[in-house]
Amino acid sequence: MAPIIHIQDLRKQYDPPRGVLAVQDVDLDIEEGEIFSFLGPNGAGKTTTISMISGLLTPTSGDAVIGGYSITQSPMAVKELIGVVPQEIALYPTLTGRQNLRFFGQLYGLGGAELDRRVDEVLEFIDLTEHANVKVEKYSGGMKRRVNIGVGLLHNPKIVYMDEPTVGVDPQSRRRILDTVKQLNQERGMTVLYTTHYMEEAQELSDRVGIIDHGEMIAVGTVGQLISQIGEEDRLVLRVDAINDAFLDGLRKIEGVTDVSGADGEVCVLAKRGRKAMPAAIHVAGETGVLIESVRIEEPDLEAVFLYLTGRALRE
């Protein structure tokens, strides 16, 4: 089957010829039913890409075909197919949650009983039925976010784009939003394109992740594939009362250990299977007269992948 999102050589330069090259020749296929995340720091080009593949922003070059429709040739057809949850909250503060949904529903061409039904369904889905008749200006950040998401779901799209939907919300709302994404995907088979600069979210939600930096898609794959690029070693961090050479040498001899370094009462052991190396490390400590005060295992994550690929931390 053809991918539901097919992006080809997509490029955007704002204010040419000297302006920012915000998206640089991105190629990407997303399959129907996937949750795909764009993971990248501020200014990476996530929103610019989303805007182009929504038919809202004209690319400098390249194209994308969404559900069979080209964004450059049939932007209106693309808009009907997708739901967009923009990064900036776009709601009328003096209207209630329900009135906002009704207003945007009408913009999508809904009316009559169908509009009533969809608005009720969406309110239920975003768990705001109880607060439906309260003005949005009285809502918390998380509630506003949820209405913003609701707007994107009103016309029951096959594909939804969510642009950093958890920024600035409390942990409870964040949890609820992540669960909503999973539910849309699992229960309704919706294809979800999700952008974030939180690696934990990308890691939890996604079937595949595209790491984007300075407008370039620098790596694409499942979380497991991306992590295996950097050699799946765990980092075992031992806090000890004192460090001696016999201890470090002993650690180096443990099976699966590839590197050992120690400073300031902390010893760092890189090992193929950190958990497996732990009992041996404790044994070595006993033999060499070292007291272990605490042990921590850090498994490699997308943050480590980003660091490896760019030399920078995801969040500076």
Residues making contact with ligand ATP (CB under 6 A): 14-15, 19-20, 22, 40, 42-48, 87, 197
- Shortest separation between residue 47's beta carbon and ligand ATP, angstroms: 3
Which partner in ligand ATP, Mg ion, none is near 43 (CB below 5 to 8 A by kind)?
ligand ATP
- Shortest separation between residue 40's beta carbon and Mg ion, angstroms: 9
- Shortest separation between residue 169's beta carbon and ligand ATP, angstroms: 15
Which partner in ligand ATP, Mg ion, none is near 98 (CB below 5 to 8 A by kind)?
none
Which partner in ligand ATP, Mg ion, none is near 22 (CB below 5 to 8 A by kind)?
ligand ATP
- Shortest separation between residue 7's beta carbon and ligand ATP, angstroms: 14
Tokens representing residue 268 in the block: 């760092």
Phi, psi for 157 (deg, rounded to 5):
-75, 160
Which partner in Mg ion, ligand ATP, none is near 30 (CB below 5 to 8 A by kind)?
none
First to last CA, the chain: 40
Taking the least distance from each CB to Mg ion, the nearer of 46 and 208 is: 46
Taking the least distance from each CB to ligand ATP, the nearer of 96 and 195 is: 195
Taking the least distance from each CB to ligand ATP, the nearer of 46 and 102 is: 46
Q: What is the DSSP letter of 254?
A: S
Which partner in Mg ion, ligand ATP, none is near 48 (CB below 5 to 8 A by kind)?
ligand ATP
Of 238, 280, 240, 239, nearest in space to 257 by CA = 280
- Shortest separation between residue 293's beta carbon and ligand ATP, angstroms: 39
Q: What is the per-residue DSSP string for 4-67?
A: SEEEEEEEEESSTTTS-EEEEEEEEEE-TT-EEEEE--TTSSHHHHHHHHTTSS--SEEEEEET
Query: What CA dihedral angle connects 48, 53, 55 and 58, to 10 degrees?
Result: 50
Other Cβ atoms less than 10 A from the Cβ of 243: the count is 17
Taking the least distance from each CB to Mg ion, the nearer of 181 and 304 is: 181
